[in-house]
Structure 1
Amino acid sequence: MDSFHYINNEAQFFVQDAVTESALKEVSQKVHDENRKIPTFVNHSAIPYSIQNHLRPEEMEQIKLTLNKRYDAYTQSLDLQRLQYDPDLVGHDIDMILNQRHCMAAILQIIEKEFPEVFCLNLRNNKLYQLDDLSDIIGKAPKIKILNLSDNELKMALELQKLKELKLEELWLEGNPLCSTFSDHAAYVSLILDCFPNLLRLDGRELYPRAVTEVVLMKPCKESYQGPELLKNLILYFLQQYYFIYDYGDRHTLINVYHEKACFSLSTAFNSMDPDPSALYDYIKNNRNMKDIKDSYLRRKLLKHRNRTIVDALSMLPRTQHDFSSFSIDMWFHTDTMISFAVNGLFRGESNSQNLMFAFTRTFIVTPSMTSMLCILNDQLLVKNISPLNVHTVFTIPGSIPCSSCTPTLSQLQHELEQAFSSLSGMKFEWCRKCLEENGWNYTRAAQVFLILQIQGKIPKEAFKQIT
């Protein structure tokens, strides 16, 4: 079988003998997937152009070497712009014109074998006038999120339909004739979104401006970050709001707290004396401890790079409830543009359908941000079991807690919600109870309302406990 490609839900391929042709006719309507029988249509054809122009093995090897030079494993990016003029190809008399089927087929074959994890593909300035041949990439590199097709010869937006099965988040089309065929920019954006509904950026522009009520971590004041007391309050405030969302909100909303090119890694630590080492299973499978992981490819894969990948990974981890009163913070370095600190503490987590206690150390490298209080550049999380002797210290929140005789209408669960809300928001119990009651004891909704009101400066100072 040669020249296989996939277009509009149809698999098309070329075969060269009558026996295979007859066999294909016989299996029509006899092969089926989960939903329907699959028909097979056999038609006579001229030999495809791609078959007539197969590249020699030595040429394929040189192309592979060239692509390896153009691939960045750290960002999972493959830069193929102006590939025809690459000196390594020109010097070997290889005319790699990507608007010819056999050339594109060769590139996709190498991508499938060498770079199946590619996240960003740059095809800028390659004289592409149609995307039939590129459509085969859907099955060969399905993780592509960023595609650059700028400065090519695409004349019709219908060509983009051939790539609509890619889950693109960023697309570049500027410099193509099709961009001038729309009456206005809104029509242009609307048609592109019909093809790629998950798209977040088009030609470098954000498609969805942040809503006013979006949950972000805002600066508590406008003063400089200089001085130990201000830095202390800044970090405490940041951690309160970060874990407020991490524990009880949608972790995907933390995307704005991470730098676009931030890194995150998770490690676990346990020993034979742990009461239940298997409790760490949900964390061990993502463990990037370099003492344990010898495979360099696996280490790279377990390093989460870019903010969207990071929040996706965080959302896959078990739900948690951190005890803010157990936190100890060590800041060892700071400048006007960067702060490094570590947080040690305890949390309750769901793992293997159990409600278990864990200890953690989290190391942050952050920088001040225009859109949030701090922007995370690097985040390293270490999770480990805690001994039974430490369990009783978890979730003991300082301050007077209303007893059941004083508040008989509150259930044990409501007490726990009130205490957790107070621990992470910094508000007094009576204010936490009021906020929870007004939101029907829906913790996530109450947390979102709290953050919005705090951002707007509508919560009075007397609502908060004094931080000592």
Structure 2
Amino acid sequence: FRVQGRNVGAGYGRGGRGSGRGNGRDRVSLKIHLDNRRDRQLQRGAGGSATTTAVVMNQIKVVRGATIGKDFIMRSIGQYVDDVKPLLFRVDRGDITFFVEDDDTAAAIHAISRRVRDPNTNAPITFLLSRVSAGFATISMNERDLIAECLKKRYNAETHALDLSEFGLDELFRTRSLHLSLTRNNIMMAVVDLIDQYYGGVTALSMKGNRLRFLDFFACLLYRIKNVKTLDLSANQIDKESELEKLKGWPVETLFFENNPLCGSYSSAETYLSAVHRVFPKVTMLDGIPVQRSVSSIVPDLDENAKLPLFKPSFYGTDDHRALIEAFIVEFMVAYDDPDVNNRKNLINAYDENATFTVCAENLTDANEKKPYFNPGIYSTYRKTSHNIKCMERWERFREKVIYKGAMDIIVALRKLPATKHLMDTFLIDVSLITDKHMCFAVEGFFRDGLEKVGDDDELRFFCRNFVVINKGDG
């Protein structure tokens, strides 16, 4: 009776065990049918005429993504999903939206929702997925074939250069009385798609004389051809610096941008060059004139194949400073790691009456968005005293309780912290400042919670401790 009731309630089949399997297939078929019908409705609603069909794509919405930034979002997605090719980035009421053509890629991005953390607030980032009209229509196969023929004619395989200057006036189009200007969004997207398929190695690209004013659709090439070093945008209608910023990320070294309305808005050549370098910091040739590369571009980007500096041991400055600092650290850590935390009172002479002490404790989340810690009680103790400036909402109402001033208050705070065992053979010391009266240095390494002997299977914790030491004459 219960089986029949469940089948009747679902609205499928005629009951019985065999129809249960059929229900699953029927539900999948119905879902596909409804999805296809919705896509057709969107296409008809946005197509604009009986002869055009709107393109329906997967839209990803990053909730509150505007405060996070496009670059961080795409880097984070790239750590989980390969070969992401976003289209048409937009900011909508604080959210960032973009389109993804591939269904599997869109589903993979949606699957990592709330697994990526906001770098500012540490809150999980939400990715929403929907199917909507992308804002442009399809073109006929005849038009697409002509565009493909035009691109083939204009591509130089030896120099990896693609010349799209005055594209809409090409003889292939004029002789057929076709208006295939790159100012039409669907034509630009067809060009983007063909370049992605056949011309991914382009290093020089000319868009001269195409009357481009908005670069949203042209910027879709940013994630398809990533090594553009020569770019010609001259003789267009670009009148806002924000449009040029949509191309930020290309390693452009030679740029032609003259004869755009935006050029006339700069009061001097230095201002013009500065604006260009904010978008393309590697530019050394601007409108045919050699210019000095931006200072900020001297530091290699994370995406560049730059060699990291060799790892070096601790830095002390001089041997005398090394002996003094190491003696201080050993004496301090031995007293701090005493099995009886009450004996940390012996450190009172290490602190001045004007001294200040704070603790910042944080633990990374795992794949389940949890923060595992071997001993939750110990972790709770650290978090109660944590003065993490990136999580001000936790302590801003009682900040005076997590900042300890004066030798006595500091010792009381140290005695409340859990017992530890530091591994001194893992310590690295870096001295940042030495004067006649002051010395600043940082100590980093590993420690473990508790008093047991350190073993190979222990869960070690990383710490970094900064000391500002004053010279009192007697030590």
TM-score tier after normalising by the smaller chain length: 0.3 to 0.5
Choose between structure 1 and 2 for higher RCO, CA contacts under 8 A separated by at least 6 residues. Answer: 1
TM-score by length of 1: 0.39
